[in-house]
């Protein structure tokens, strides 16, 4: 019988390493799949909603970001908003709306995410009591950005990140920069990644 070039023990260790590689690559693939499953898209009104209590300055585009104050994924959205503001500056009127769900005490929405958003120059931070504005704007997912042009027409709806809770260049970021600069934008929508703004959302159960 021909002798093996390596011992039985080492053969076992090689097999273990192969199985390990398959398991960890599978785990990383699952992670990426999970991180790229978008949240429920907004059904935002095409024109700035009259029912909104937010003020839209005439002659300037308005950007509204709706966020859950405790969503860990939305840290990336706020970080991207800070980058975006550094590019677009005062050319847009930017508002971050932080959800305070019904029944939660006043101040519940003032999380570390609120503080981070408030530190971004040129950004107004507002509490969305009982999720009223979220309903008016038809949004369901934290991190949703709605960009209304200077005439009050919806020009973009979607996220600012390319994956769930992941900083870095995204289609949404590039689209808004193009719109602000008056260039042609490739798209009007992009997926949004973040926690659900709705308390009862069985289809999103387990996602952040």
Partner 1 sequence: MMTEANRNVEKLVRIADERFDAHRDANNRYTDRMLAYLLIAEWVFGVVLSLVFSPDAWEGKTRILNIHVPLAVLLGGAIVAVPVFLAFVRPGWTLTRHVIAIGQLLTSALLIHLSGGRIETHFHVFGSLAFLAFYRDWKVLITGTLVVVADHFLRGTFYPESVYGVTNPEWWRFLEHAFWVVFIDIVLVISCIRGVKEMRRLAEQSAELEAVALSHMTAGAA
Size of the site for partner 1 (CB under 8 A): 57
- Can you say how many angstroms the Cα of residue 168 is from the centroid of all Cα atoms in its chain? 12
Q: Looking at 25-33, 42-50, 53-61, 90-98, which segment touches partner 1 (CB under 8 A)? A: 25-33
- Range 21-25 contact pairs with CB under 8 angstroms and sequence separation of 24 or more: none
71 binds partner 1 (CB under 8 A): yes
CB of residue 50 vs partner 1: minimum separation in angstroms? 26
For residues 27 and 23, what is the distance between their CA atoms, to the nearest angstrom?
6
* 127-166 binders of partner 1 (CB under 8 A): 131, 142, 162-163, 165-166
Q: Which is nearer to partner 1, 94 or 196 (CB)?
A: 196
CB of residue 206 vs partner 1: minimum separation in angstroms? 7
87 binds partner 1 (CB under 8 A): no
CA distances from 87 to 17, 61, 179 (A): 47, 15, 12
Q: Looking at 21-29, 56-64, 89-97, 149-157, which segment touches partner 1 (CB under 8 A)? A: 21-29
203 binds partner 1 (CB under 8 A): no
CB 188 within 8 A of CB 155: yes
Interhelix angle 171-180/74-88, rounded to 10 degrees, is 20
Beta strand segments in 122-166, E = 123-129, 144-148, 154-158
15 binds partner 1 (CB under 8 A): no
Structure tokens at 49: 């909603």
Q: Which residue has the tokens 């059904």?
A: 43
27 binds partner 1 (CB under 8 A): yes
For residues 141 and 126, what is the distance between their CA atoms, to the nearest angstrom?
17
Q: Which is nearer to partner 1, 62 or 192 (CB)?
A: 192
11 binds partner 1 (CB under 8 A): no
Binding site for partner 1 (CB under 8 A): 10, 13-14, 16-17, 20-21, 23-24, 27-29, 31-36, 68, 70-73, 75-76, 79, 99, 101-104, 131, 142, 162-163, 165-171, 173-174, 191, 195-201, 204-208
């Amino acid at each position: 019988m021909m002798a093996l070039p390596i011992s039985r023990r080492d053969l076992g260790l090689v097999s273990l390493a192969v199985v390990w590689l398959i398991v960890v690559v599978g785990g990383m693939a699952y992670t990426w799949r999970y991180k790229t499953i978008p949240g429920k898209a907004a059904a935002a009104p095409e024109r700035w909603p009259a029912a909104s209590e937010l003020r839209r300055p005439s002659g300037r585009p308005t950007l509204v970001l709706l966020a859950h104050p405790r969503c860990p994924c939305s840290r990336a959205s706020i970080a991207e908003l800070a980058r975006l503001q550094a590019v677009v500056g005062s050319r847009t009127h930017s508002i971050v709306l932080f959800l305070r769900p019904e029944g939660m005490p006043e101040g519940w929405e003032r999380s570390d995410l609120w503080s981070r958003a408030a530190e971004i120059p040129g950004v107004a931070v507002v509490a969305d009591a009982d999720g009223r504005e979220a309903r008016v704007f038809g949004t369901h997912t934290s991190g949703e950005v709605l960009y209304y042009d200077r005439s009050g027409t919806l020009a973009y709806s979607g996220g600012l990140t390319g994956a769930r809770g992941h900083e870095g260049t995204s289609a949404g970021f590039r689209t808004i920069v193009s719109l602000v600069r008056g260039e042609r934008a490739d798209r009007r929508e992009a997926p949004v990644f973040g926690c659900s703004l709705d308390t009862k959302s069985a289809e999103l159960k387990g996602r952040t």
